[in-house]
Amino acid sequence: MTTATQAWTRRHILSLMDFSVAELDMILQTAASFREVLFRKMKKVPALQGQVVTNMFFEPSTRTRSSFELAAKRLSADTMNFAPGSSSLSKGETILDTAKTYLAMGTDIMVIRHKQSGVPQAIAAEMDRINSGVSVLNAGDGLHAHPSQALLDLFTICRVVDPEKPRCEVVKGKKIAIVGDVIHSRVARSNIWSLTAAGAEVHLAAPPTLLPELFRELAVGTNRKLFVHWQIDEAIADADFVMTLRLQHERMTDHLLPSLREYHRGFGITAERLKSCKPEVKILHPGPVNRGVELASEIMDHPALSLVSEQVTNGVAVRMALLYLIGSSKANQYSHS
Ligand code: NCD
């Protein structure tokens, strides 16, 4: 892992839009070694001993928050958790002042989730402006990005192809369908960048109300392979992986779908539908799942098809890798943020 830290140059991880294959491979390789740690009897390493990781989740979260907390603990960092309901935010404190309060307590890494796109970036900019040296990790901001989720998805997909040595090369040319509420999904947006950078063919599928044509333009003028479908069939035909997304009712301001039953009929992932995929197809879902809406219950629980639990396990290893790469290169000279 020494090579990895020597080459790591980012202080913050805010989006995957400009991540190179070399950087993605560094994360995959680091996560692979931490995954081994998680299966030992002694599941802890001293890598971030003495550093403080603060989880600042301004929006509800189960798995991402717990996963970051466990990842930090497995690296022997001290952790603090911020919960907006019981905080001074309700007394009118601004988010930047909340961040500065945690900085004053010695925070080294801030893990930030907010329902508004751009909040992690704003905090990172302020931390840089005052030369704090603090790193910001985006744990999901509005519709914008969810880098750690997309990286754990990439890691999970790569491990299916080569469990020993997960790396971008193994997903080159693989067909990956992302089906569901793309318009409201920061997970989809981050996955588009990482999967296409790794050389996979990404096929988005949803009704037009959940998948505007604009998505096609993300890849224009690049060699990224990104396709948009308003019917599911072409998207999943011969697919190696199908990633389903939750219908995000809390972000829907209008009635974008005739009914949930209608949606399930058109885009739900069922055993019948999967017959058109590759025989060894695997299913991913970032969670939480609306069972029977975007994903049939029997598929979600199917041990040979579903990667859902594997994604959760891998999430801890990938988040350890991100905290480690950022935290242990703090002494290095950063070439860019
Ligand atoms: C996702 C999120 O919050 O963006 N979930 C997660 O982080 N595991 C997706 C979702 O909420 O549907």
CATH number at residue 10: 3.40.50.1370
Tell whether 83 and 19 lie within a shared domain. yes
Q: Are 241 and 266 part of one and the same domain?
A: yes
Q: Is the pLDDT of residue 103 over 60?
A: yes
Out of 15, 57, 64, 313, give the residue to mutate to test ligand 1, the one with the largest number of ligand atoms within 8 Å of its CB.
64
Are residues 175 and 50 part of one domain? Answer: no
* Inside any domain, residue 27: yes
Q: How confident is the model at residue 1 (pLDDT cuts 50, 70, 90)?
A: very low
Q: What is the pLDDT of residue 97?
A: 93
CA of 199 to the centre of ligand 1 (A): 24
Of ligand 1's listed atoms, the one at least distance from the Cα of 61 is 3
Could you list the residue range(s) of the whole structural domain that residue 35 is in? 2-145+313-332
74: CB partners within 8 A, 6+ apart: 34, 37, 38, 43, 44, 45, 316, 320
Specify if 66 maps to a domain: yes
62 and 191 in a single domain? The answer is no
What is the CB < 6 Å shell around ligand 1? 63-64, 140, 146, 149, 186-187, 246, 248, 286-287
pLDDT category of residue 140 using cuts at 50, 70 and 90: very high
pLDDT value for 41? 95
| Mean of per-residue pLDDT scores for the chain | 93
Pair of tokens at residue 217: 């333009």
Q: Are residues 297 and 164 part of one domain?
A: yes
Strands 78-82 and 135-141: unpaired
- Please indicate, yes or no, whether residues 185 and 294 belong to a single structural domain of this protein: yes
Of the given ranges (57-61, 75-79, 131-135, 140-144), which has the lowest mean pLDDT?
57-61
Within a domain: 225: yes
304 and 157 in a common domain = yes
Whether 111 and 245 share a structural domain: no
Residue 319 falls inside a structural domain:
yes
Longest dimension (CA), the chain: 56
Residue 337 lies in a domain: no
**Would the pTM count as exceeding 0.75?**
yes
Please report the atom of ligand 1 found closest to the CA of residue 62: 8
Average pLDDT over residues 203-227: 95
Q: Are residues 231 and 249 in the same domain?
A: yes
Same-domain pairing of 170 and 247 = yes
Q: Per the structure, how many domains does the chain have?
A: 2
Atom of ligand 1 nearest to the CA of 64: 7
C-alpha separations of 282 from 153, 154, 162, 223, 236 in Å? 12, 13, 14, 26, 11
Residue 259 lies in a domain: yes
State the Cα–Cα distance between residues 228 and 234, nearest whole angstrom. 10
Q: What pLDDT shows up at residue 206?
A: 97
How remote is the CA of residue 31 from the centroid of ligand 1, in Å?
21
Q: Which of 37, 224, 240, 71 is nearest to 156 (CA)?
A: 240
Claim to verify: residue 101 and residue 226 sit in the same structural domain: no
Cα(243) to ligand 1 centroid in Å equals: 13
- The string of pLDDT tens digits covering residues 177-187 is 999 999 999 99
Let me know if residue 258 belongs to a domain.
Answer: yes
DSSP 3-state of 41: coil
Structure tokens at 114: 């907010």
CA of 29 to the centre of ligand 1 (A): 24
Query: Which of 337, 286, 328, 314 is closest to 71 using CA atoms?
Result: 314
Ligand 1 geometric centre to CA of 131 (Å)? 32
Q: Are 154 and 287 within one domain? A: yes
Q: 141 alpha carbon to ligand 1 midpoint, in Å?
A: 10
Any bridge partners for residue 13, and if so which?
137
Q: Give residue-wise pLDDT tens across range 272-286.
A: 999 999 999 999 999
What's the mean pLDDT in 83-97?
A: 78
Separation of alpha carbons 125 and 63, rounded Å? 27
Q: Closest Cα to atom 7, ligand 1: which residue?
A: 64
Residue 56 lies in a domain: yes
CB neighbours of 121 closer than 8 A, spacing ≥ 6? Answer: 14, 136, 138, 141
